[in-house]
Amino acid sequence: METAPDRVACYADMFAAMGTESRLRIMQLLLSAHPEGMVVGEIQEELGISASNLSHHLDKLKTEELVTVSREGTFLRCTANTTTLQELLGFLYAECCTRNKAVKPKAFVNLCK
């Protein structure tokens, strides 16, 4: 099954959004805190970055639907969008593990354990 070119472009944008150390660390933190997520202040404290820098990174991740942000009173709670991540990982899995078997499916599953 071929992936539509527009979906491939979306996946490329998602990877680009995670393509900095700070954003990848944000994703790692949010995944470790799943499903509750973290409030912005907790992320900022954990990463030791300024509020404006964090806001910039969260906006990029939110634009690509990798992170959802919801208001809780005066706080903003961020969560990893696991639906989008599952789609992105499914794209990689289909290419590397099922179509051409570049990586054996069992190796991929063992990596995820």
H or E segment at 110?
Answer: helix 105-111
Q: How many domains does the chain have?
A: 1
Q: What pLDDT sits at residue 45?
A: 96
Q: How many CB atoms lie within 10 A of CB 72?
A: 8
For residue 52, the Cα-to-chain-centroid distance in whole angstroms is 20
Q: Tell me how far apart the alpha carbons of residues 78 and 68 are, in angstroms, rounded to a whole number.
A: 6
Instruction: Output the pLDDT for position 1.
Output: 46
Distances (CA, A) of 45 to 27, 29, 49, 50, 65: 15, 12, 7, 9, 23
Domain with 33, as residue range(s), is: 5-111
DSSP string, 22-87: HHHHHHHHHHHTTTT-EEHHHHHHHHT--HHHHHHHHHHHHHTTSEEEEEETTEEEEEE-HHHHHH
pLDDT of residue 24: 96
Low-confidence residues of the chain: pLDDT under 70? 1-3, 95-113
Q: How high is the pLDDT of residue 99? A: 65
Tell me, what CATH number does 54's domain have?
1.10.10.10
